[in-house]
Structure 1
Amino acid sequence: MAGIYFHIPFCKRICAYCDFYRSASLARMDDLVAALHRELEDRSDWLRGEAVRTRYFGGGTPSLLAPAQIRALLDHAGELFDCSSVAETTLEANPDDLTPAYLDTLLAAGIDRLSIGVQSFDDACLLWMNRRHTAAEAVEAVRNARRAGFGNITVDLIFGVPGFGGDSLRRTLCQTLELGVQHISAYHLTVEPRTTLGRRAARGEFAPVDEAVSEEEFLTVHRTLTGAGFEHYEVSNYALPGFRARHNAAYWHGASYLGLGPAAHSYDGGRVRSWNVASLEQYLAGAPAETETLSDRDRFNEYLMTRLRTAEGVVLAEVEHLFGRERLARLLHDAKSSVCAHTLRTEDGRLAIPPERFLVSDAVIEALFET
């Protein structure tokens, strides 16, 4: 299963927590779209004839694209790659962009899955994060999407926001469930130094939540959503049966993908990774992608990092097949302390982090890395 990712870096407003590459100026949207078409042509051999199963517009705010631009990019990709068996085409969207008219044209353009960046249904929390929509607008956006015929909708949420746990978080979760979406991505707030929140924290204007609060809120999310029938299948992702995010699964299971646009990454499914320059101006000027060839150690560590983010974890027989008996023996030896601490478990020939312990996944995985 191969995927194609289009990075649309433009935003009308920069969220206080955002550390992704983005631009608040929309002046060069048409130039970007033209450059994406050129990059499709230039990198048409990257997937080596492998069938494309998923396509994804991320950002930034891809819902700033006109449906005609989306349709043209998908059609062009279909001319260059085998897209005959595509199973999922996703667009990330801001709630206030999802008018009934826009939603109707998105369906006609080929989008069949929406990832809606709600983050919270608490207006004070949205203001704190500098989001450009209200809770009521977010509710209406999801309802509009359902009325338009979208049957595969993700709502993105953020928890671990200082002052907005407890009842605020529970109300957000209840509102999300009431809207009847099929998939929920719930991320713990990370305060990065180069963001507005990072600068505010450095000035002492607020403090990130402590570990005890993080764990409490994580478990509130986990128990509420799994209790409502959602499967906690990846560190930050919950799905009703049959609605896992197929595109993201390509990243977690080592499939090949082509990333287009400034700051986008690509992987050939084997040893080669590439990434575009994180600069709109340089990308538009034709700056070439950088590449790296992964060593055996890099591939092993990346395998652990991605697979152990999922509920299925790593298949021990696959570890031996891909990396050898010696690495498998070392992995099992290094995993013993975490198994005893119940942050890892071995079952049915797999090594996995129990979903209720996903909050500490980074530390558990890092302890298994080969240095």
Structure 2
Amino acid sequence: MSGIYIHIPFCKQACHYCDFHFSTSMKKKEEMVLAIAKELKMRKPEFQNELVETIYFGGGTPSRLQIADLRLQMDTIYENYAVSENPEITLEANPDDLSEEYLIELSKIGINRLSIGIQSFFEDDLAMMNRAHNSAEAKKCLEEATKYFDNISLDLIYGIPGMSNEKWRQNIETALSFGIPHISSYALTVEPKTALNKLIQTGKIAKPSDESAQEHFAILVETLEANNFIHYELSNFGKENYFSRNNSAYWLGKKYLGIGPSAHSYDGVSRSWNVSNNSLYLKSIQEDKLPNETEVLSVADHYNEYIMTGLRTIWGVSLHRIETEFGSKYLDYLQKQAQKFISDDFLFVENDILKPTSKGKFLTDGIASDLFYLNLEV
């Protein structure tokens, strides 16, 4: 299984918390659409023996593109790559872009999964985050989207300063009222070069509370599991048969091709990433050059990535796989490092699989970093 990720680097406005690569200017949109299609053609040899089972339009905000722009990318993929009979084709979208006409046209060109950036159903939260939509648009778009799409995911953000537990419960309940089969939910994170960081530093917004975020996370898990969602990855909850095939492939170490400025790729041996600059990306593609850098991953890199992704998912970390793929040195180290977390009831081993306990889930990323193997030979 392999996937293609296409980064669309345009947004209507900058959300205060976002540190992804994007531009609010659409002046180079036509050039970018053509350049992305050209990069797809240029990189065809990298996937000549691969069957593409997922296509993911991320960003930025892919729903800023017109249907003709998206159709060009779809046609280019099908003309140059072997695509499975039943691929998962996801489009990230913002509520204010999803008119009924746009939704109908998306379904016609082959998009079969939507990932909608709701974030909150409350006006004050949306204003604080500088989202482009309002609460009414969030609800209206879900009413319309569920008429034409069965496979829908929505994003919610918790740990927002001033958000009570009751308000957070209302957000979750509102999402559930639309019958959505997948929810991705993330703690509000303060990244260094964002407007949110400046607002906190100047005292205009309170700093997010770790204690509040942990309480919200516990409410999220409890509520969604009670509604038959499976907590299959730290930030992702899906009903049976509605796990994100695209994201699951990342976590399980499958190959993927990243197209567009700032997009990352992985071929099983090395990782590459495109330049995070629209003008430099366009110039390079126009000169028939790939605008990327490549890093060959060491054994330790592969081990550390497996630890991180394994602990975040329901599949856990296989001790047998650690020994067979990385050797007894890594297994001994892992068991030694994990022991303190097992003793403190943050991790447990079952059927030779290392997983976080309910108590340890919220702390997964920090625990994983303590299990990383550093300074090993390549």
TM-score, length of structure 2 as denominator length: 0.95
User: SS state of the match for residue 259, structure 1?
Assistant: strand
Tell me which residue corresponds to 1:253.
Answer: 252
Equivalent pair of 2:346/2:358 in contact (CA under 8 Å): no
Deviates more, 1:209-218 or 1:193-202: 209-218
- Residues 1:354 and 2:357 aligned together: yes
Q: What amino acid does structure 1 have at the position aligned with 2:82?
A: D
- Aligned-pair distance for 1:86? 4.2
Tell me which residue corresponds to 1:312.
Answer: 315
Tell me which residue corresponds to 1:94.
Answer: 94
Tell me which residue corresponds to 1:3.
Answer: 3
Equivalent pair of 2:345/2:359 in contact (CA under 8 Å): no
Q: Superposed, which structure 2 residues align to 1:139-288 within 5 Å?
A: 139-148=139-148, 150-269=149-268, 271-286=269-284, 288=291
Equivalent pair of 2:338/2:347 in contact (CA under 8 Å): yes
User: SS state of the match for residue 345, structure 2?
Assistant: coil
Kindly provide the CA deviation profile for residues 20-63 of structure 1, in whole angstroms up to 9, marking residues without a partner as x: 11101011111111001111111112234111110000011100
Are residues 232 and 140 of structure 1, via their aligned partners in 2, closer, same or farther at CA, if it must alter by over 3 Å?
same
User: SS state of the match for residue 14, structure 1?
Assistant: coil
Equivalent pair of 1:186/1:237 in contact (CA under 8 Å): yes
Tell me which residue corresponds to 1:128.
Answer: 128
Are residues 355 and 29 of structure 1, via their aligned partners in 2, closer, same or farther at CA, if it must alter by over 3 Å?
farther
Tell me which residue corresponds to 2:287.
Answer: none
Tell me which residue corresponds to 1:344.
Answer: 347
CA distance in 1, matches of 2:170, 2:340: 38
Equivalent pair of 1:11/1:22 in contact (CA under 8 Å): yes
Equivalent pair of 1:313/1:352 in contact (CA under 8 Å): yes
Kindly provide the CA deviation profile for residues 119-174 of structure 1, in whole angstroms up to 9, marking residues without a partner as x: 001111111111111111111101101112x0000010000000123222111111
User: SS state of the match for residue 126, structure 1?
Assistant: helix
User: SS state of the match for residue 45, structure 1?
Assistant: helix
Give unpaired runs (5+ residues) of structure 2: 285-289
CA distance in 1, matches of 2:354, 2:320: 11
Tell me which residue corresponds to 2:21.
Answer: 21
CA distance in 2, matches of 1:90, 1:327: 37
- Aligned-pair distance for 1:358? 2.1
Kindly provide the CA deviation profile for residues 192-244 of structure 1, in whole angstroms up to 9, marking residues without a partner as x: 12111101111122332322212111111111111111111101000011100
Kindly provide the CA deviation profile for residues 345-368 of structure 1, in whole angstroms up to 9, marking residues without a partner as x: 100121111355321111100010
Q: What amino acid does structure 2 have at the position aligned with 1:211?
A: D
CA distance in 1, matches of 2:79, 2:338: 47
Tell me which residue corresponds to 1:299.
Answer: 302
Q: Superposed, which structure 2 residues align to 1:37-56 within 5 Å?
A: 37-56=37-56
CA distance in 2, matches of 1:95, 1:3: 26
Equivalent pair of 2:48/2:81 in contact (CA under 8 Å): no
Equivalent pair of 2:6/2:260 in contact (CA under 8 Å): yes
Q: What amino acid does structure 2 have at the position aligned with 1:140?
A: K
User: SS state of the match for residue 46, structure 2?
Assistant: coil
**What is the aligned residue count?**
369
Aligned CA-pair RMSD = 1.2
CA distance in 2, matches of 1:348, 1:165: 39
CA distance in 1, matches of 2:85, 2:130: 39
Equivalent pair of 1:49/1:81 in contact (CA under 8 Å): no
Q: Superposed, which structure 2 residues align to 1:325-344 within 5 Å?
A: 325-344=328-347
CA distance in 2, matches of 1:50, 1:328: 32
CA distance in 1, matches of 2:87, 2:355: 27
CA distance in 2, matches of 1:231, 1:78: 33
TM-score, length of structure 1 as denominator length: 0.97
Equivalent pair of 2:188/2:208 in contact (CA under 8 Å): no
Give unpaired runs (5+ residues) of structure 1: none
Equivalent pair of 1:316/1:349 in contact (CA under 8 Å): yes
CA distance in 2, matches of 1:169, 1:187: 12
Q: What amino acid does structure 1 have at the position aligned with 2:332?
A: A
- Residues 1:57 and 2:57 aligned together: yes
CA distance in 2, matches of 1:205, 1:266: 38
CA distance in 1, matches of 2:297, 2:86: 29
Q: What amino acid does structure 2 have at the position aligned with 1:259?
A: G
Deviates more, 1:322-331 or 1:155-164: 322-331
User: SS state of the match for residue 308, structure 1?
Assistant: helix
CA distance in 1, matches of 2:357, 2:106: 38
Q: What amino acid does structure 2 have at the position aligned with 1:43?
A: R
